[in-house]
Structure 1
């Protein structure tokens, strides 16, 4: 009995000391806060609950499965059929229990992952200092191309990436986080392949988004170099295993069988972007002698952006077009190349500024 009383008394004293801040913790230190717990729904099954990426407790990841993409061409470190989604919360999210925030969905490029260190830096850096914005980066696989595939291989099953993202991920996030669940509180953006996806999604479902942004996106599928690049991604082992037939994603890429390619090319179908915020960012590749592949890739992307810009102008649709050339005046360390971190971080900072001026937020 004496021992029980002593332990109980010790527990009370320890609790009191903790409340008074006398446990020796560093001044200003905060207790760890668990990330949100997600509930299955909207066709998604949570196979791994959210966990913080680091001790800053702003960015977490979780893993889901979906029948819309039951398996996919997996890259190194991926489990086919398991979809990692990364989320960055605004500072103070956990202490503002009644506050709802706008959401930016950001789509990664090829061949890349949603949960890269660069993406985390972009999301956290662009919203530092209390910017009230949630950012969500869903898996698009190395070659998903953000569309429902025309001829998915039988060994993979359906590759309905558009259904997965628009019909499942968006309402799932709205159900599990405190979001502004209207088009006025929602944006879509992406880099390279993801820039294509952002414009394609915004044009396909304009009722979902108040703003769209492309960072060096490949926006013109009528551009034969861009079309060849897409076909090339189907054959590269580095884009995921197994590789897939050239007609798997958009169908046969040559006339007169290329109707899906033409129908899903964002550059030629800008009409639905009317009454939506629109932004495009591109460089010119800079010095061709410095990293020729990335320089050429950016020049091709720029060509597709110029076609898109011209069609936006012809349609009388307001937009922001940032052509930063060799990058020397855009950001320190930006050299106008494709997938250049300094350029992308500057793109994101500028785009988030547009979102805060154009979306509903606290």
Structure 2
């Protein structure tokens, strides 16, 4: 179902949820746990840094692992060589020794970004306040959430295997989760929106809901290919830089078969039976913050292609095509990496998935 931004229901839900979450966050109760969970090594992962609370509310903790699937990730400033930080936000009252189990939302960050940045923590905690939901944000750097075709001197960069076959079972083994498809959802922003659809399409048995916040979903688009190549070549996206064929192979015909095969927009059939949602603006005033405006405008084009293919396949979906953001959330002007827009996206998406995910 495609939903227009002018629909009063959408506007009311987004604004009310944002205001309620923002008000409640200031007085958020501490988690029932005073000591963060302890994680044990397994599934090819070594826990190199045990969970530690990020602040006194005892809702969000970070921990670090090393992985045999991505032993040498590229790094952004502040990251440690050979390690992957993972941020987890627990529901209020979480008790690791209790009988209650919680569904899990995997939230994939964009590039350049990290899972444990302050804005990712704020958006997650606000959107999930008062909600019986665990949120997990794993490291992704410039991964494009894929098993790389030509990682070269970096060695294995099997990000899809790392996240789906290592991180997910590690979380299920160490937290009180609902460890089934019915208790699991995935979403992401920008590169992370690509990753969410990519993972859900490849492994539909793992997820019951998928979302994209301004994701670049169409690898057949030459503009989207240019965006991927830019992240490979730019040191701002991680160091060391890599070649233009590192992730998906050469981006030009007739050598671009992997690009075509891995494009989420054209491979939506496996999402049938899953909840699907997309959120995107049009960039708003293109003279205001033009880089972020143009990136969002182009991301919208990939969402339109994806929505058309979902419709043609008869797959129901929510599509918040919110234009310049003025009717979506206060402070949102339709730009690409704008916290008020992303907060409204996450607020609405959490409301959707909690109507579907299994609780126990």
Q: One fold, TM greater than 0.5? A: yes
1:149 match: 148
Change (3 A) 1:95 1:82: closer
Residue 73 (structure 1) shift? 1.3
Distance in 1, matches of 2:276 and 2:338, equals: 22
* 2:254 aligned residue: 256
Select 1:298's aligned residue among 296, 299, 302: 296
Report the counterpart of residue 336 of structure 2 in structure 1.
338
Equivalent residue number for residue 69 of structure 1: 70
Q: Which runs of 4+ in 1 moved over 6 A?
A: 28-32
Give the drift of 1:29. 9.3
The alpha-carbon distance between structure 1 residues 150 and 286, as it changes in their structure 2 partners (threshold 3 A), is same
Q: How big is the shift at 1:240?
A: 1.1
Which of the numbers 209, 216, 219 marks the counterpart of 1:218? 216
The alignment partner of 1:93 has SS state of coil
Structure 1 residue 32: Cα displacement? 7.0
What is the deviation of 1:80? 2.2
Structure showing greater Rg? 1
Q: Does 1:117 align with 2:118?
A: yes
Distance (whole Å) between structure 2 residues aligned to residue 32 and residue 189 of structure 1: 27
Which residue number corresponds to residue 354 of structure 1? Answer: 352
Q: Does residue 1:132 correspond to 2:146, yes or no?
A: no
Q: CA deviation at 1:33?
A: 0.5
Gaps of 5+ in 1: 1-27
Please report the TM-score for the alignment, with normalisation by the length of structure 2: 0.90
Decide whether aligned partners of structure 1 residues 29 and 316 sit closer, same or farther in structure 2, where only a CA change above 3 A counts. Answer: closer
Separation in 2, partners of 1:30, 1:100: 15
Which whole-Å CA distance do the structure 1 matches of 2:245 and 2:31 have between them?
53
In structure 2, how many angstroms separate the alpha carbons of the residues matched to 1:184 and 1:29? 28
Counterpart of 1:207 in 2: which secondary structure?
coil
Distance 1:30 1:270 in 2: 38
1:73-110 residue CA offsets vs partner (Å, 9 max, x unmatched): 11111112100000000010028711000000000001
The residue correspondences of 1:151-230 to structure 2 (distance < 5 A) are 151-154=150-153, 156-230=154-228
Encode CA deviations 1:291-343: one digit per residue, 9 max, x unaligned.
00000000110000000000000000000000110000110100100010000
Q: Distance in 2 between matches of 1:232 and 1:80?
A: 22
Larger relative contact order, structure 1 or 2 (CA cutoff 8 Å, min sep 6): 2
Q: What residue number does 1:243 align with?
A: 241
Cα distance in 2, alignment partners of residues 132 and 286 from structure 1: 35
Number of positions where the alignment pairs a residue of Structure 1 with one of Structure 2: 332
Cα deviation digits, residues 90-134 of structure 1 (max 9, x gap): 0100287110000000000011000011111111101112x1000
CA distance in 1, matches of 2:40, 2:227: 39
Structure 2 runs not aligned, ≥5 long: 1-28
| Aligned equivalents of 1:58, 1:350: Cα separation in 2 | 21
Measure the CA separation in 2 of the matches of 1:45 and 1:213. Answer: 30
Distance in 1, matches of 2:98 and 2:120, equals 26
Residue 246 of structure 2 aligns to a residue whose secondary structure is: coil
CA contact (8 A) 2:30 2:56 kept: no
Greater CA drift, 175-184 or 70-79: 70-79
